Amino acid sequence: MSPSAPSSSRLSLRHALPLLLAASFAPSVQAADLLTITQDALANSSSLNASRSTFRSTEAGQDVARGDLLPQISATGSLYRSDSLESQHAAGASAGAGAGAGGSTSGQDYNGSSLGVNVTQVLFDASNWYQYQQSKKQVGQQALQLEIDQQQLLYDVSSAYFEILRAKEVLDAREAQSKAIGRQLEQAKEQFNVGLVAITDVNEAKAAYDSARAQLISARSDLQVSFEALERLTGKQYDSIDGLADDLPIASPKPATRDDWVNLAMTSSPSIRYAEAGVDVAKSSVDIARAGHLPTLNAYADYAYSDNDIDALRGHNENVEVGVQANLPIYSGGSTSASVRQNTYSLESTQYDFEDQRRYTTQQVRSLFTQVVNDVESVDAQREAIVSSRSALEATRAGYEVGTRNIVDVLNAEQSLYESISNYADARYTYVTDLLQLRQQAGVLSLDVIRGTNQWLRDSKRVSLDLADTQRRGSPTDDIGARPIPPTP
């Protein structure tokens, strides 16, 4: 081995190290399914992490409130030096005459030290006690808020995931529509060139093709935006995600009645339980305000130590005091009574909020249940619409070839078919997201539900974001739109 080989190796390592570090901090680009992406979101979501921090802050507030009920110990100490001067003179004597003119001057200098220790223990303080009880209720309420935020994140991630799949199927339909109408435009031009059709047929086909191309461009944009929305929720990039199986069962939700879902929501919805916990917290605020009328009772012990060297005497002073101290509020300018009224109205407000949340959840659950049931029928109807539209297109084309239909009829039939395909995809994904939202409003959307939904995703139907490739796949008819339309004869 040549002597320069080790140096070359170290140089390569120095060049590679920055690239390795950059790669380690770059957002990950990967393929994933719904369960993996949901787990990423639970770990990386900024909003959910903020909710977790708020919950921990509320937990710390409980410790603060408990500390007011525990012994309070304080200590003070000092070291000091005192210099004093006393000058006295007889009446009428000059201040500058000194001691010989009937006056005297004396001084005293000494060092000293002191130490004090105070211990206080609350024996009865209703205000501090109710504040501690309220802090525990606030922790429970914030735990429910964390559950609300987590279920919301599960729905948001699922909705964003299936929005990508929806956008991809719509894009595929728009691409197929653009190609089909492009072929129709090409055929119309060829027929015009040999005198079989009028220029109006070419113009009609060109207008339909331009409209299809505009829809295709919009669909491409929707797919890209959908991927970016998912990245915002997880903090990661995904080059592809698994697609939804064709044999996904489309069935009515279970339980099978609206009332069953409403009853489930009344017991399981974290939003309802959060509003109910708010009522309990408000009741504690009223108790705290009323406690302002009650006396407080504290036990205390004081120890004081002092020492100095005045007159060159030795020794020190000590004092120990142990006792019980009571404080009875008599009049505070009416602020205590006003605070009671204020918190009573706040309690009344939270009770109305609780009732409003119950009504809102009931309405949402009923509406979503009805929507899911309708989605089941809509998917079936849209599937049949594809069959009918395809048959209609074939019949219209046959009529166009024998002269009983015109090109407008063919173009309308083409658009109707691909609109039906797009509507079918939209209906399937609407069913999935509505069912997940129904579970969220009922308070039963969990990672297990996401895991069950994930079983209907297929790697073979993977959807990727490759705009360049997408544009290439949509480009076979680009030259058609660029060709000039023959002038009107």
pLDDT digits (tens, 9 = 90+) for 428-478: 999 999 999 999 999 999 999 999 999 999 988 888 876 444 444 444 334
C-alpha 214/C-alpha 174 separation (Å) is 9
Give the number of other Cβ atoms within 10 Å of residue 359's Cβ: 10
Q: 71-74: which pairs have CB atoms within 8 A and are 24 or more residues apart?
A: 71/119, 71/120, 71/121, 72/119, 72/120, 72/121, 73/117, 73/118, 73/119, 73/120, 74/117, 74/118
pLDDT of residue 472: 41
pLDDT at 356 over 80: yes
Amino acid at position 269, single letter: S
pLDDT of residue 311: 66
Query: Strand, helix or coil at 121?
Result: strand
Phi/psi at 323 (nearest 5 deg)?
-170, -175
Amino acid at position 467, single letter: L
Closest residue by Cα to residue 464 from 133, 31, 5, 132: 31
pLDDT of residue 358: 97
pLDDT of residue 1: 43
- pLDDT category at 97 given cuts 50, 70, 90 is low
Q: State the DSSP H helix or E strand holding residue 255, giving kind and residue range, or none if neither.
A: none
Read off the pLDDT of residues 256-280 as tens digits, 9 standing for 90 and up. Answer: 899 999 999 999 999 999 999 999 9
Instruction: Please state the rounded mean pLDDT for residues 129-147.
Output: 96
pLDDT of residue 412: 86
Q: Which fold has domain 44-81+125-297+338-478?
A: Outer membrane efflux proteins (OEP) (1.20.1600)
Kindly state the percentage of the chain with pLDDT values over 90: 56
C-alpha 33/C-alpha 145 separation (Å) is 27
